[in-house]
Structure 1
Amino acid sequence: MTRQSAPDLFAPGLFEGTGFYEVFAWYRANDPVSWQHPAGEPEGFWNVMRYHDAVAVHRDSTRMSSTKGMRLGTADRAVDAVANKMLIVADPPDHTRMKRVLIQPFSHEVLSRAEAYVEKVVADVVATAVREPGPDLLRQLERIPTDVICAIMGLPRSDWEWIGRKTTEAFESPSEVRRVTANGEIFKYFSDLVRENRRTGENEFISGLTARNSGGGGLTDQELVFNFSGILAGGNETTRFTLAALTLQLAERPDQLGHVLSGEADPAVATEEALRWSVPGMHVLRTATEALRIGDAEVRPGQRVVTWIGSANRDPEVFDDPDTFDVDRTGNRHLSFGAGRHMCLGSRLARLEIGAYLRVLRDTVRSVTLEGEPRYNGSNFTWGLNELPVVLHP
């Protein structure tokens, strides 16, 4: 294939399966930093495909800004409304200030106390899936991250199902109108919750963040509301996709399933491979504030740069046999949680949930079978399975 016959990275339906990995491989080999201007985008941008280039972009907080958005297809007005008020679209010093507050509920010390609860949620979900197998295991697995993050945030149990549904809609709907509407509903929900907690102080999660703000330099109520939406997405969407991708690989790879169920595979090591393989955050966008060079490309100020995490995680210069799922893979330096200042807040929690899932499978399941055709959501941002016809056997 020549440079002139470059495959279309934005072909309709490309992400409805896994064929895009072949497209990524072509770009890594032939045009690792390419200029693109697909239909529907107001302006062009640079695509970054190789691991080390992607790391350099993520770690460059001096010449790369997040305030112009962090994903393709987002309306400018929506980004402008939350820029420097929401962690994922903030730069220092606002990013530093907000992260200092928001990282506290996800510290090792705090999550160590939540470990028993996570194990219970996972055990309950797996037991239900074994006892009541349905046509789509994903509908049961998605309870794990939703129930855990909602419990940590102290949200009313009666709201959990609605929150999970709206979070998915806000980040995955192909309709911009539906995404914007769902985000608006989530923002209103948390606005009401923060305002009510100012009066009652009953929500310990919110009160804890507010108490840390009393010395000044903390988050405003508006910043709390915007970032709660980000916490939901990070705690819900990405982990759900990783659990689903992991389960599918175990169903399709008896050798890997055998390693897990026999106890030979270290759950911590297998967790990292599940994260590398699943790539729940497929791309990340930054905007250059200064001229810089990425590979052979000369990037001008104001130009957008898109790092493709799904490509970086399969870069053969970094990962041996990258297209093979291997629960025993060590030295796994995947970028599924990002790199640099914007490293995912919920990375510890995600690892805790995935590790617990692997341990519960090991202790309670004898086989995992694929009973139909898995289906993907087709998104090039929060990509993953939306139908998983898998059965867990006791």
Structure 2
Amino acid sequence: MSVSNETVDVVRLADVNLFDPAFHTGDPHPLWRVMRERAPLHRQVLADGRMFWNVTRYHDVCRVLGNHRQFTSERGSLLSQLGTVDAAAGRMLVSTDPPRHLQLRRPLASLFAQPAAEALRGRIQHGVRGLVNAAPVDGSWDLAVDVQQLPLVAAAAVMDLPESDWPDLIRWTGMAAAPSDPAFSVGSTAATLAIAHHELFDYFAGQVRGRREHPGDDVISHLLSMHAGDGPLTREEVIFNCYSILLGANATTPHTVSGTVLALVERPGLLGELTGHPEAATDLVEEGLRWTSAASSFMRHAVVDTELSGGVVRAGDAVAAWVGAANRDPRVFPDPERFDPARRNNRHVAFGHGPHYCLGAALARVTLREFFAEFLQTFVSVQLAGQPQRLASNFIAGLTHLPLSVRRRA
């Protein structure tokens, strides 16, 4: 069910299913406002008996994501894994706790740090211009569809993945991130997820075979040659982490772009102020990251009994940390429901918090800034040409369609 501003006060929280991907095709923020104030620690029990807690306040979300001694990532990091055994636990970056997490992350950090991102700026600019120039002058431009290729401009360069493979990689990562959405589903949710995992793991197994024969200066070759702890990574660890890196890039950056553009289109006066000022892109990107919170939720399990706002989570319990709710907490963000590219001290957690802070954050920021610098320099008018469609996912907050009509600068 969806919740509107008018009805949220009379909806019982027990009637709302945050686990249901379809719920998130509506606007969850009216509900999250109520939860932050009335039920900052909200218990939800599914029909099959599985249970998890929801946290929506900024400082609680930071604690759940940032304190691995109280909340572990090794029993599944996504809400869809609730009640299952994570096969990648202890072997994939997102499914490990320190010290193993640091052993995996530290050797990769330089490949995604700011200098590495800056070295790709020219390639990213070229890809951005190709995307923006493809927008039709007459007719509708579905930005949410076309922008899916944008993160691969950088990620494929870092991983040395051929452009001919991009369409498959976009489709498979979409299926993995949102297996319930009609845009990606192939039969049931479970079948879609199984197909996506099979295709992506098989694809990266082939890439690993190729790098063993012809190593290069890319992430996959680096994973094959690096040591973490007492020895080199296993073949499965390399494949798991290739999957994680690609999914992290493809599943979030496009939705930050389309969601930020939608916020501008809905505020034509603001768009008019920014158009022609590409230097405004940096602040616009940070507010867009906060506003869209594309990585909407992460799951952790309590290691010990832990007190959070509203009560105590018992050891072993699952907790969903809602990043989108945290990023509009009025305790941290003044006037949080206002989209404000001039916002200062923007301490959003769109890239996560603590040990699992997004490895590719610098690369994502360069990509987003280059897109919006080009966008603001190119278009003088952007309007909706149809109804936006939101993604059905309890993990990714985004859009599957954003039809636009645009007018270019003379």
Q: Which residue of 2 aligns with 1:185?
A: 199
Which SS does the other structure have where 2:86 is aligned? helix
Q: Which residue of 1 aligns with 2:254?
A: 240
Q: Is 1:146 aligned to 2:152, yes or no?
A: yes
Preserved contact between residue 256 and residue 327 of structure 1 (Cα < 8 Å): no
The aligned amino acid for 2:62 is: V
Unmatched segments (≥5 aa) in structure 2 = 1-7, 181-188
Q: Distance in 1 between matches of 2:405 and 2:151?
A: 20
Which SS does the other structure have where 1:366 is aligned? strand
Q: Which residue of 2 aligns with 1:43?
A: 50
Q: Which residue of 1 aligns with 2:80?
A: 73
Q: Distance in 2 between matches of 1:241 and 1:339?
A: 20
Q: Is 1:382 aligned to 2:375, yes or no?
A: no
Q: Is 1:163 aligned to 2:163, yes or no?
A: no
Preserved contact between residue 283 and residue 310 of structure 1 (Cα < 8 Å): yes
Q: Distance in 1 between matches of 2:340 and 2:171?
A: 32
Q: CA offsets per residue over residues 288-341 of structure 1, 9 Å max, x none?
A: 111111123122111111111111111111111111111111111111111000
Which SS does the other structure have where 2:107 is aligned? helix
The aligned amino acid for 2:94 is: I
Q: Distance in 2 between matches of 1:265 and 1:256?
A: 15
Preserved contact between residue 220 and residue 242 of structure 2 (Cα < 8 Å): no
- Cα distance change on mapping 1:306 and 1:365 into 2, 3 Å: same
Q: Which residue of 1 aligns with 2:36?
A: 28
- Cα distance change on mapping 1:17 and 1:5 into 2, 3 Å: closer
Preserved contact between residue 276 and residue 380 of structure 2 (Cα < 8 Å): no
Task: Give the deviation of 1:76 after TM superposition.
Answer: 5.2
Q: Is 1:261 aligned to 2:275, yes or no?
A: yes
The aligned amino acid for 1:286 is: R
Aligned match for 2:96, one of 90, 95, 118 = 90
Task: Give the deviation of 1:215 after TM superposition.
Answer: 9.5
Which SS does the other structure have where 2:260 is aligned? helix
Aligned match for 2:334, one of 290, 295, 320 = 320
Unmatched segments (≥5 aa) in structure 1 = none
Preserved contact between residue 197 and residue 203 of structure 1 (Cα < 8 Å): no
Aligned match for 1:53, one of 60, 63, 73 = 60
Preserved contact between residue 260 and residue 358 of structure 1 (Cα < 8 Å): no
- Cα distance change on mapping 1:315 and 1:8 into 2, 3 Å: farther
Task: Give the deviation of 1:372 after TM superposition.
Answer: 1.1
Aligned match for 2:109, one of 103, 112, 115 = 103
Q: Which residue of 2 aligns with 1:361?
A: 375
Task: Give the deviation of 1:223 after TM superposition.
Answer: 1.1
State the TM-score, normalized to the length of structure 1. 0.93
Aligned match for 1:5, one of 12, 18, 23 = 12
Preserved contact between residue 70 and residue 285 of structure 1 (Cα < 8 Å): yes
- Cα distance change on mapping 1:319 and 1:215 into 2, 3 Å: closer
- Cα distance change on mapping 1:76 and 1:218 into 2, 3 Å: farther
Preserved contact between residue 39 and residue 310 of structure 2 (Cα < 8 Å): no
Aligned match for 1:17, one of 21, 26, 42 = 26
- Cα distance change on mapping 1:331 and 1:217 into 2, 3 Å: farther
The aligned amino acid for 1:170 is: A
Task: Give the deviation of 1:346 after TM superposition.
Answer: 1.1
Q: Distance in 1 between matches of 2:82 and 2:139?
A: 41
**Sequence identity of aligned pairs in percent?**
33
Q: Which residue of 1 aligns with 2:351?
A: 337
- Cα distance change on mapping 1:2 and 1:132 into 2, 3 Å: closer
Which SS does the other structure have where 2:387 is aligned? coil
Once the two structures are overlaid, the 10-residue window that deviates more, 170-179 or 239-248, is 170-179
Once the two structures are overlaid, the 10-residue window that deviates more, 5-14 or 352-361, is 5-14
- Cα distance change on mapping 1:45 and 1:107 into 2, 3 Å: same
Aligned match for 2:127, one of 116, 121, 127 = 121
Q: Distance in 1 between matches of 2:150 and 2:357?
A: 22
State the TM-score, normalized to the length of structure 2. 0.90
Task: Give the deviation of 1:220 after TM superposition.
Answer: 2.5
Q: Is 1:273 aligned to 2:287, yes or no?
A: yes
The aligned amino acid for 2:54 is: N
Question: Matched residue pairs, number?
Answer: 391
Preserved contact between residue 149 and residue 232 of structure 1 (Cα < 8 Å): yes
Q: Distance in 2 between matches of 1:218 and 1:132?
A: 54
Which SS does the other structure have where 2:160 is aligned? coil
- Cα distance change on mapping 1:255 and 1:284 into 2, 3 Å: same
Once the two structures are overlaid, the 10-residue window that deviates more, 214-223 or 177-186, is 214-223
Preserved contact between residue 97 and residue 217 of structure 1 (Cα < 8 Å): no
